[in-house]
Structure 1
Amino acid sequence: MKSWPFAGRERELDHLVGLAKDRAGRGVVIAGPAGVGKSRLAAEVLRRFPADRHAVLTIRATQATGGIPNGALADLLPREAPPGNTMRWAAEELIGRAGGKALVLGVDDAHLLDGHSAGVILSLVGRGRARVVATVRTGEPALDSVTALWRDGHVSRADIGPLSDADTRAVLTAALRGRPDEDTVLRLCRVTAGNALFLHEIVHSALESGTLQLVRGMWQLTGATPLAPRLVDIVHDRIGTLSPEVKAVLEYTAFAEPVGARTLSALVSEGAVLAAEERGLIRVVVEGRREVARLGHPLYGEVAREHCPELRRRRRHAELVRVVEAAGLRRREDLLRTAVWRLESGLGADPEPLAAASRLAWSAHDYRLAVRLAEAAVTAGGGTGAAILLATVLDYAQLPDRARAVLDTTPEPEGEAARAELALARANNLAWGMNRLAEAKELLDATERELREPGPRGQIAVRRLTLTASAAQPREALALSAPLLRPGGAVDPALRAQVLSAHALALCYAGRTAEAVAAVSEALADLPSWLDTIPAIVSPLHSTWALCGLFSGDLAVMDKAIASMADAVAGRRGWSRGEGSLALARGHAATLRGDLDAAMDVLHAPAHHETALTVGGCMGAYAHAQALCGEGRAAQETLGAALARNRATWTAFTRWTALTRVWIAAAAGETNRAADLAVAFAAECRAAGLPGFEFVALHDAVRLGRTSPARERLPELAALHDGPRVRVAAAHAEALATGDGPGLMAVAAEFERLGLMLHAAEAAAQGVSVLRRSGEERTARRAAAEAWSLASLCPRADTPALRFLAAPDLTARELEVAQLAAAGLTHREISERLHISMRTAQNHRNQVYLKLGVNSAADLARIFGRFDDGTS
């Protein structure tokens, strides 16, 4: 791990190489903050100068050599300088070292150059006797002879920033020699903020400590970010020596980020705040009408918090409470923040504000904090109300056993409203936490019989509806939701939002996805009125929205739902249900697109969550992707783990499990058995009134080569279920049953238009077989090229329909000609590009047309234009 392979930043590197070799200039200076990877980029640029024509001399400037004449060049010059013009002598020595080759100077940390060395380099570059590839740190002073390199136009200056998320992923993949899961990438992006040096140190420490390890073939970071001594030293070196006041600004910001600039000034002084900002320790930005301070880098806060002594930590929190409460709790978040600071400082708090703060943390989906505050409210004497709140947030935090322990010790309260609230908490725990749906419904029924007040009775009715919809019983759920949606049926915004959420899910399962999306939109449009009361339904509303896109075949709907869900989850660490729901939606969308690597990347972390009980859904989807990759044994193991982990087996999880079993059998080579499973499952779904699951199962059978009973039933389902996916599935079954090769290619084109690339590739592959059996060889060759092109967009897919596809039988030269022709180049341009005659280029093109069964460059463009490089 000491030296990482270069990865990521390909476009930046190409741009820098272009600047370094540009004939109009004499090199490039790469500028950027410390640790962003300037030196590595410069080294890669220097490697692009061929050694047979260039002499590359590397120069490293340091603070130690900054005051020594020619100190940075000492390793390249003789020990004794002759009398006279030493700068000219040094320049000639460097030219001599080039041995007649073009001289290229690689200067690292040029802002630290001593005056003589800088003068020598400027002289060589200014006179055109050398090129330079240098790095400078932004924000640091540099000599005029250094800044003159770009100021006077001798070289180009290129400013680079931190690693992007995509670059970080590429770097990690190369360094670890394996793929990290999506959650690990995002965590490391967040804590390093794209700083390559910090990334290297954290990964090295995590590997040594075992918190970064291979889990089912992917690298996963577990536990807290490791702060090894070397990383802490680097951060301290970056921060530098701080005065007590500036250190206080850093610590207050670390504990309270984001914190008002005026609050910081009241706690320390305005001068200290300005000094901390100037040092880059904090950033002061305007948010709304308020100036707030945030940390200059996330790791500054990590180090400041870890190394702050306990007594000073308590004092800092107590001072935050004093200043903010003295100014008045004017903002919504002030109540939550001061409650937390009181706990941290040991000042204590009354149960009411603690409970209120817990609800605010819950509405922000910060379950760890919500649980902590609710526990404090119980300890402070909050009584039954605080106990019910604690049990509720524990359940939604997926800690049902702890919730059950709280509920078992909570006495029956007085008053119908409180009794109903306790019954709801117990029913929720029984159903979701204990996997005892029948008992949960019995409890709701018994409680409802004892209640007289319409408000509590309405709450019971809504919870019954929610459980019924979640159990994938759309007929019963729609019957239950109808009276609740009538005018006056559910007046309370929170109750109506829950009704709309359950109603939307039932509509989705019933095949009425457009109506379901409308119900979701109605609920989310009124989100501010109910978020604080029932924040947990943000996740299921979005899940239903994405599910509508999945069943209807509208990926744009899925993408909108995923984007909205990502906004809701952003920054909500610990919301395992929300994070899992988002990953599940993204995984389903990637699978439909045929990008199975992406599906497993996003599903991996939630599928292997240590405590989440809804992990089964993500594990099942992960197993499904594995099976589509042909990894039958691994998929079976994953599915077995999903069944063991998932407590709520009464939900639609069992339906997804059945679909996964189909493809596990197919991956094992048992195609007929897989089709049998799909047909049998479809019959179960028909009886349950689940047309979406039914048509997906029947279409799975078609994808496996079985057309009965799909050919007869799918047109009926197309009339029951909205969206284009079921209609194209019906056409697929018909074309395969009748041996209609062109029809199968048309189906493939329709699936491609929808973005369902795996379905498209499979339909095209089946079309190839049909066309070859019918003797239409030229058309079959064209279809084979189309199928190969589509399958290339699903590189890991290994389903029965795709197993016998082969790349077009083109020679390497024919493939080059085909790709250039597809890009629109003429015969003359192709011959010039490949250094062949026009006749040879034309002959190769004609062979390509014959082998692929195509007639024009437009046909080639369709085949090769689906992906960047068709050579793989």
Structure 2
Amino acid sequence: MVSQESLKHALPPRVHWPIVGREEDAALLLQRLSSGSGGVVVMGSPGMGKSTVAAAALAQIRDNNQNNQHVLLLPTPQEQAGALSYVEQWLGVTTAVAATIDAVADQILARLLPDPAVPDPAVPDPAPVLILALDDLHLVDNFSAGVLARLVTDGRIQLVGTSREEPGLPPALNSLWRGGRIDRIDLVPLSYDSIRLILRAALPGPASNDMAYRLWQATAGNPLHVRELLYSIVEAGDVSYAEHAWVWTAPLRTNRRLVDLLASDITTLSGAERDVVDLVSLAESVPLSLLAPTATDAVLSSLVDRGLIVLATGHGEPTVRIGHPLYAETLRSLLYPRRKRELFGLLPEPSPEQHSPQELCRWVDWALECGLMPSPQVLLAAGTVRERFSQPERAAALAALARKHEQLPPQERVTALLLSARANRDAGRSESAEADLVLLRTFAEQGTALPDAVIVASARIHADLRQRHFGDLDGALAILDQAAQEVEPGGGAATELAIEQLGRLGFGGRHAEVLAGYGPQLAAANHPANVSLAPSYIYALAQAGRPMDALELAETNIKLVGGEHADFPLLRANLMSARFWSAVWAGRPDLAVTLPEYVEDGIQRHDSALYQAGSGYVYLLFGVWEQAVADLRGALSRMGLLAPTGLEAMVWAGLAQAHAMRGERAEALDACQQFEELLPAMDRSVEVDSRYRVLLAKLALGLKGLEQGISGYIALAQSQGLLLGVLLGRHLQVVTAAPGLRGSLLAALAESAERVQGQLPAALLAHGQALNDGDAGAVSAAAAGLAQVGIWLPAPAKVLALTPRQQEIAAMVAAGMSSKSIGEKLNISVRTVDTHLGHIFARVGVNTRAQLTRVLTATFE
């Protein structure tokens, strides 16, 4: 893997930057031209990729040379060309003052399109079409724009150009668009998924989703800014390879290149405009009334048109905020300390109740930059926001600052210690977190009685440390037991602690206790914490053979999450994960990839590592092994930077399957070993699934002792009442058994299938029956049926000679997918898919898709 130091040399040069997120725009431009449009103008703000889209489309026209089209690249108009019109710049001749648009257009037509020869009726070649291509149509003067419009209306010339939204097209060309003679394509910012694809194409290895998300947020999807910010953070050493993938490890900061990039948008501002953007960049958001009288309508309109600010007119007072974070950081880097202090005095100290979390945090950072110390209440409020936004290091620092205040009231001191303990727990600093809890306990022993809510919160943090950092579930339960002795019996705190205990049992694989205790606990008390029990129960219910019931329960509980669950910031993420797995185990990958609607309240936390792990598993369900590897490695990198979650083993299990399916033996073996090492501390809510994927990897690798492994897997599932595991294991027994022994195993498989809900049982039973019958065609069809429910069986050993990409495509052919569908899934052309198929046929020794499918499933006949 490329080192951090040499990463800057591995980035593609700007001229060959990957065109990602604009492919559909280029295809649309080509389609409009081929359908007879007089031209296409690509519109957008600076840096949106207008020239890139036009150039990509024109390159295809030149390469294909279809429809007798010829491209003539015209020079870019000069913004300050004196008295010369664009036509004069282009032709290099002086146009007479009295010249008319028609006369000049006729001269150009005569020069560009000489009189055609007498056509030969026997050779019906299409009439030649000339495409004039030029950037920055908004700089073209009105006379020259009229000439270009006249050329287009002639019918033998098409126009491909780019233009900024402001000031827009010259009147003559705008009239053509309004009249339908030419088309326009308006570019929008790149999506988050496009940023992920850019990183995949630009970096020598996978990147974490968190890195893509931060790039997307900082640049608002502007392609030019994405490219330059990526160059900037790489050259600054802020991107490092965290064991499995690239991660962005430092806060957003600018350098000379970024300042120069945005100089045209910032340094040319008038004094009044600069006053507005300086203040807004420092404050994140400013009430409009505080900007008067500087912020006149003309000033605001100019800044909005440039994309520098956004006006928000909600239910309260209108506010002004900066266009996107990259502008804010660049502006802040240009301000000197005295200017920052001067502007700081214009705004009052924010109120945690009346200001947004972002405004609160920005104000605190601004105060500290000015050498001022906010009140402990504001520091703690900002620290709580930082911790909620998954920024534990910054939260711990703010808690430490609050504790430095002299004569800090006892209540704030307790709050500061709790915040520090939570932040250190989330940052993986277990010793620091335990030290915070010791101080809290000492504080209580010195005479300050701790409220029951504080006892519960500290017990929860301490239990998390024992359970997740040290793999000691029994120790975590003992901590909660001890806390229950210190609170009021039968009160809300005691109820919450009982819920905490029951909710953690699934982590330790004690699913039967979760199933038995869930209903009585719900009936015992109507408490907000009861919803936190749902994920454990949903996992247990789904693995006990009732995934459809579990899926319905997950859908219901996700909608119940609200502000009263602020003490459980990962609740929605946990419910979404439980819903995902319920859909997977129900054999409904289509439901697993869709997200239910819910109301976003800003309290529930987004876990980027968990999200990327889920994305990797989605690719596993659909057999896209290369992308599965990339996302799972990205998830492991983020997990390696934070506190342990217990889900690391699950990710390694997915990696083992993906590597094995790609024929990457060494990587698959390493992933299996990593899984075994992490197994004792894993979250056993998904243990059955993880062990199953490792068995599939070992099956693909042809490892010895697989039969004993499958038997042990079935025994484990039976001992915990997990009927899903029993079903999956008995199907693997049929798959790996000798043909003559399959009949005796089929009855047990059928019996298991009757006890499990969803589409998996029928698909597994159909495959087992086909194997027993020995019908090659039925086996192929049944294997395709398994792929439809998310189960991909490995190919026979002789097919492992294929390259990883060929393995991927071969498996999709066996699942009954067309070349078009495969191309769409892998983001490659149909021609490329068919080329791979030709090589696959040659290596395997077959001539048709049907023959290839039979070879791929031959191991199981």
TM range (shorter): 0.7 to 0.9
Q: What is the DSSP-based 3-state SS (H/G/I as helix, E as strand, rest coil) of the residue aligned with 1:594?
A: coil
- Residue matched to 2:532: 498
- Aligned partner (choices 477, 480, 493) of residue 441 of structure 1: 477
**What amino acid does structure 1 have at the position aligned with 2:695?**
V
- Cα deviation digits, residues 660-687 of structure 1 (max 9, x gap): 43234234333x5344423322222222
Moved more, 329-338 or 441-450: 329-338
Report if the CA contact (8 A) 2:244-2:634 is conserved.
no
The secondary structure found in structure 1 opposite 2:320 is: strand
Tell me, yes or no, if the aligned pair for 2:246 and 2:637 is still in contact at 8 Å: no
Match of 1:585 among 614, 618, 639: 614
Q: Per-residue deviation at 1:296?
A: 2.9
- 1:281 is displaced (CA, Å) by 1.5
Q: Report the secondary structure of 1:758's partner residue.
A: coil
Give, in angstroms, the shift of residue 4 of structure 1.
1.9
Q: Equivalent residue for 2:27?
A: 14
The answer on 1:287 being equivalent to 2:314 is: yes
2: CA distance between counterparts of 1:646 and 1:611? 20
Measured at CA, do residues 236 and 255 of structure 1 come closer, stay the same or move farther in structure 2, by a change above 3 Å?
same
Identity percentage of aligned residues: 24
Question: Conserved in 1, the CA contact under 8 Å of 2:344 and 2:366?
Answer: yes
Structure 1 length-normalised TM: 0.76
Query: 1:295-444, aligned counterparts within 5 Å?
Result: 295-317=322-344, 319-322=346-349, 329-330=353-354, 336=360, 347-352=372-377, 354-355=379-380, 358-359=383-384, 367=392, 370-380=395-405, 381=408, 382-412=412-442, 413=444, 414=449, 417=452, 418-444=454-480
Counterpart in the other structure of 1:31: 43
* Residue aligning to 2:802: none
* Secondary structure of the corresponding residue to residue 816 of structure 2: helix
What pairs with 1:516-665 in structure 2 (closer than 5 Å)?
516-521=550-555, 523-528=557-562, 530-560=564-594, 562-563=595-596, 578-609=607-638, 610-612=640-642, 613-614=644-645, 616=648, 617-640=650-673, 648-649=681-682, 651-652=684-685, 655=688, 658-665=691-698
CA distance in 2: counterparts of 1:809 and 1:520, whole angstroms: 42
What SS does structure 2 have at the residue aligned with 1:410?
A: helix
For 1:454 and 1:182, locate their aligned partners in 2 and report how far apart those are by CA, in whole Å: 44
Note closer, same or farther for the CA distance 1:677–1:570 as it changes in structure 2 (3 Å cut). Answer: farther
By how many angstroms is 1:532 displaced?
A: 1.8
**Residue 715 of structure 2 corresponds to which residue in structure 1?**
683
Name the residue aligned to 1:737: 772
| Separation (CA, whole Å) in 1 of partners of 2:187 and 2:55 | 15
Q: Which runs of 5+ in 1 are unaligned?
A: 767-782, 798-805, 813-847, 855-861, 864-872
Deviation of 1:222 after TM superposition, in Å, equals 4.9
Preserved CA contact (<8 Å) 2:623 2:812: no
Equivalent pair of 2:244/2:637 in contact (CA under 8 Å): no
Q: TM-score, structure 2 length as denominator? A: 0.77
What is the distance in 2 between the residues matched to 1:118 and 1:289?
46
Q: Which residue of 2 aligns with 1:138?
A: 165
1:502/1:27 CA distance change after superposition, 3 Å: closer
Distance 1:639 1:570 in 2: 38
**Bigger shift: 730-739 or 208-217?**
208-217
Matched position secondary structure for 2:313? strand
Partner SS state of residue 655, structure 2? helix
Q: For structure 2, which runs of at least 5 residues remain unmatched after alignment? A: 1-12, 116-127, 798-809, 826-832, 840-845, 855-861
1:232 aligned to 2:254?
A: no
SS of the equivalent of 2:84 reads coil
Work out whether residues 59 and 72 of structure 1, in 8 Å CA contact, stay in contact via their aligned partners in 2.
no
Q: Could you say what secondary structure the match of 1:789 adopts?
A: coil
Matched residue of 1:162: which SS?
coil
Separation (CA, whole Å) in 2 of partners of 1:386 and 1:443: 22
Distance 1:105 1:278, change over 3 A: closer
Greater relative contact order (Cα < 8 A, sep 6+): 2
Distance 1:19 1:117 in 2: 24
Q: CA 1:652/1:137 → structure 2, altered by over 3 Å: closer, same or farther?
A: same
In 2: Cα distance, 1:146 partner to 1:273 partner: 29
| Secondary structure class of the residue paired with 2:440 | coil
C-alpha RMSD of the superposition: 4.7
8 Å contact from structure 1 (residues 583, 606) kept in 2: yes
Matched, 1:722 2:757: yes
Query: Number of matched residues?
Result: 780
Q: 1:406 corresponds to which letter in structure 2?
A: D
Residue pair 1:360, 1:532 contacting (<8 A) in 2 also: no
For the Cα contact (< 8 Å) 2:623–2:792, is it kept in 1? yes
- Aligned equivalent of 2:805: none
User: What are the Cα deviations for residues 525-559 of structure 1, in whole angstroms up to 9, with x where unaligned?
Assistant: 43225322322323222222222222222335423
Letter in 2 for 1:473: R
Q: 1:356 to 1:64 in 2, by over 3 A?
A: closer
Q: SS where residue 689 of structure 1 aligns?
A: coil
Q: Closer, same or farther in 2 for the Cα pair 1:234/1:786, shift >3 Å?
A: closer
Structure-1 separation of matches of 2:327 and 2:24: 30
Letter of the 1:673 partner, please give it: G
CA distance in 1, matches of 2:35, 2:197: 28
Q: 1:851 to 1:785 in 2, by over 3 A?
A: farther
CA distance in 1, matches of 2:378, 2:221: 39
Are residues 117 and 250 of structure 1, via their aligned partners in 2, closer, same or farther at CA, if it must alter by over 3 Å?
same
Answer with 443-452 or 33-42: which moved more.
443-452
One-letter code aligned to 1:17: L
Are the equivalent residues in 2 in contact too, given 1:510–1:692 (CA < 8 A)? yes
Q: What is the one-letter code of the residue matched to 2:588?
A: D
1:97-116 residue CA offsets vs partner (Å, 9 max, x unmatched): 66777543222212223466
Which stretch shows the higher mean deviation, 441-450 or 586-595?
A: 441-450
The alpha carbon displacement at 1:641 in A equals 5.1
The whole-number CA distance in structure 2 between the counterparts of 1:726 and 1:55 is 59
| Cα distance per residue 1:615-648 (max 9 Å; x no partner) | 6143443333223322231133345556667994
Q: Deviations over 1:431-480 (max 9, x none)?
A: 11222223223333444456663334333322221221211211123344
- What SS does structure 2 have at the residue aligned with 1:134? strand
Q: What is the CA–CA distance in structure 1 between the aligned matches of 2:436 and 2:500, rounded to whole Å?
A: 21
For the residue of structure 1 that corresponds to 2:74, the secondary structure is strand
Whether the aligned pair in 2 keeps the contact of 1:809 and 1:851 (CA below 8 Å) is: no
- How far apart in 2 are the matches of 1:350 and 1:447? 32
**Do the aligned partners of residues 689 and 314 (structure 1) sit closer, same or farther apart at CA in structure 2, a change above 3 Å counting?**
farther
Aligned to 1:832: none
Change (3 A) 1:67 1:648: farther
